[in-house]
Amino acid sequence: MKREAFFQNVKKAAFERVYFFYGPEEYVKASALAALRGALLPEGLEMVNEAVLSNPSLEDLDAAAQTLPFMAERRLVVVNDLAALRQGRGEGEGEETATGDGKALLEWCAHAPDTACVVIYHEGKLDERRTLAKGLIALPGSVRFDYLVGEELRKWIVQAAERQGKRFEKAALNEFVPGAGEDLQAISGALEQVCAYTAEAAEIDLAAVRAIVRPPLDAKVFAMIDDIMAGNMARAQIAVKTLVDEGESRVGILALIIRQLRLMTDIRLLQDARKTAPEIAQALKLTDFVYRKTASSVRTLAAPEILAAYRRCVDADFQFKSGQIGEQAALDRAIFTLHGLFARGRKEGGGHSK
């Protein structure tokens, strides 16, 4: 079940007997549990109608779920910290647990009482290869909470700022989104700092964002590539110097350029195969920011020419590592390879755009 469907069902009072909450976005996951509490538990009777269990035995879980609700249609039973789902087990230990106690838990979930609403609440990373995890994910009440991306994330940030009496300047929002982090808890903290920095001002400008939010390395590399795409080599060289002054090695920057060219090739090939933007982002496991920036850089380029540039940069890296050239020379070759690639793209115009 998608989280949007979950929230809609809660509003309609359409509840599952067993939910499995998992995924990396903890802020929204906690909001979902709060929404369930608000919908299920009568005001003033929350404590008598809710049980919160930490890694319970099946017997304890069953006892909590079988207890009849008091002046309510359902009890809420929250299961935290289920040991069989934890990361970091020894070799084979996870599978043994999943096919033992885990199998019994899955059987219990299939026949859970309809006078209770059980939420198996998992925080942190989940090994989805395990038998128990697979079984819980297959439940009708399984809800995955992924990080918000794209317009949904931007809308959330704008609304969160408005609740604090602030509005974003467009350029400020564009820089805040990739720099504030992925999870909403971190984003909320960054937003509070930016709002405090602006004091009485109603608008959050670019200066305020730059004073608080440190752009991620990806954003800095994309800014350098944007300069190269525009043919502004002087600014691109300044961007490289800034990265070096901030502690990035020239070899590290070269590796980032190589990675970026490989990603550009993959995206162009998938676009040529008529894959949609969400399909490509999911297949390559890219954040919305990285996908959008990379996809925009390949609009006028063909896959073979991107691949050829990638190979030239890999060759420069090999020549450096084999002692044939210095690290600055290797990095310069990569930068001018990008420059030549984008110059051809500008000359050819939209001939390869999709």
**Structural contact between residues 212 and 194, judged by C-beta atoms closer than 8 angstroms:** yes
DSSP three-state, residue 220? helix
For residue 274, the surrounding DSSP H or E stretch is: none
CATH code at position 243: 1.20.272.10
Judgement on whether residues 86 and 20 belong to the same structural domain of the protein = yes
87 occurs within a structural domain: yes
| Residue 25 and residue 119 in one domain | yes
pLDDT at position 136 over 90: yes
Q: Are both 59 and 109 inside the same structural domain?
A: yes
Whether 239 and 315 share a structural domain: yes
For the stretch 317-334, pLDDT in tens is 999 999 999 999 999 999
**If pLDDT is split at 50, 70 and 90, which confidence band does 228 have?**
confident
Q: What is the pLDDT of residues 337-347, one digit of tens each?
A: 999 988 876 66
Of all helices (H) and strands (E), which one includes residue 254? helix 250-272
- Stretch 70-94: mean pLDDT, rounded? 78
Q: Are 227 and 285 contained in the same domain? A: yes
Question: Do 61 and 121 share a structural domain?
Answer: yes
- Residue 353 maps to a domain: no
Closest CA to 300 of 252, 345, 330, 235: 345
The whole-chain average pLDDT of the chain stands at 88
Query: How far, in Å, CA of 160 to CA of 146, rounded?
Result: 19
Tell me the C-alpha distance between 299 and 292, whole Å. 11
Q: Do 199 and 327 belong to one domain?
A: no
Domain stops at, among 184, 212, 240: 212
Confidence of residue 101 (pLDDT cuts 50, 70, 90): low
Residue 174 falls inside a structural domain = yes
- Note whether 197 and 244 are same-domain residues: no
Q: In the prediction, which pLDDT does 99 show?
A: 35
What's this model's pTM, rounded to 2 decimal places? 0.67
Q: Is residue 354 part of a domain?
A: no
In the predicted structure, residue 88 carries a pLDDT above the cut 60: no
Helical residues (DSSP H) of 126-249, grouped into ranges: 131-137, 150-163, 170-179, 184-198, 206-212, 217-229, 233-245
Q: Calculate mean pLDDT across residues 216-232.
A: 80
- The CATH number of residue 124's host domain is 3.40.50.300
* β-pair partners for 211: none
Q: Which tops the pLDDT comparison, 87 or 179?
A: 179
In a domain, 82, yes or no: yes
Residue among 222, 216, 204 nearest 259 (CA): 222
Residue 277's CB: how many other CB atoms inside 10 A? Answer: 15
| Other C-beta atoms lying within 10 Å of the C-beta of residue 119 | 21
For 124, the 3-state DSSP assignment is: coil
Q: Where residue 204 sits, what CATH number does that domain have?
A: 1.10.8.60
For residue 130, which of 81, 79, 92 has the smallest C-alpha distance?
92
pLDDT value at residue 95: 43
- Split at pLDDT 50, 70, 90, the class of 97 is very low
Query: H or E element: which one contains 297?
Result: helix 288-297
Res 151: pLDDT:
84
Confidence (pLDDT) at 224: 86
pLDDT at position 345, please? 64
Distance CA 340, CA 261 (A): 13
**Residues 191, 254: one domain?**
no
194 and 230 in a common domain: no
Task: Find all residues with CB under 8 Å of 283, minimum gap 6, and list them.
Answer: 270, 275
The answer to whether the beta carbons of residues 22 and 122 sit under 8 Å apart is yes
- Residue 282 CA neighbour count, 13 Å, CB half: 6
Residue 91 pLDDT = 38
Using the 3D structure, point to which of 86, 121, 144 is the last residue of a domain.
144
Segment 252-256 shows an average pLDDT of: 90
- Asked if the structure places residue 26 within a domain, the reply is yes
Number of domains in the chain: 3
The pLDDT of residue 7 is above 80: yes
- What pLDDT score does 55 carry? 93
Cβ(76)–Cβ(37) below 8 Å? yes
pLDDT at 94: 43
Task: Yes or no: say if 271 and 300 are a contact pair by the CB < 8 Å rule.
Answer: no
Domain of residue 330, residue span = 217-348
DSSP 45-104: -TGGGEEEEES--HHHHHHHHHSPPSSSS-EEEEEE--GGG-S-PPTTHHHHHHHTHHHH
> Which two structure tokens, joined as six digits, stand for 225?
């590539």
Residues 274 and 290 placed together within one structural domain of the fold:
yes
As a whole number, mean pLDDT of residues 62-82 equals 95
pLDDT (0 to 100) of residue 29? 96
Residue 130 within any structural domain of the chain: yes
Average pLDDT over residues 142-148: 93
End-to-end C-alpha distance for the chain, whole angstroms: 33
Residues 85 and 138 in one domain: yes
Report DSSP state, residue 21: E
Within-domain flag for 222: yes
In the listed set 144, 177, 198, which residue is the last one of a domain according to the structure? Answer: 144
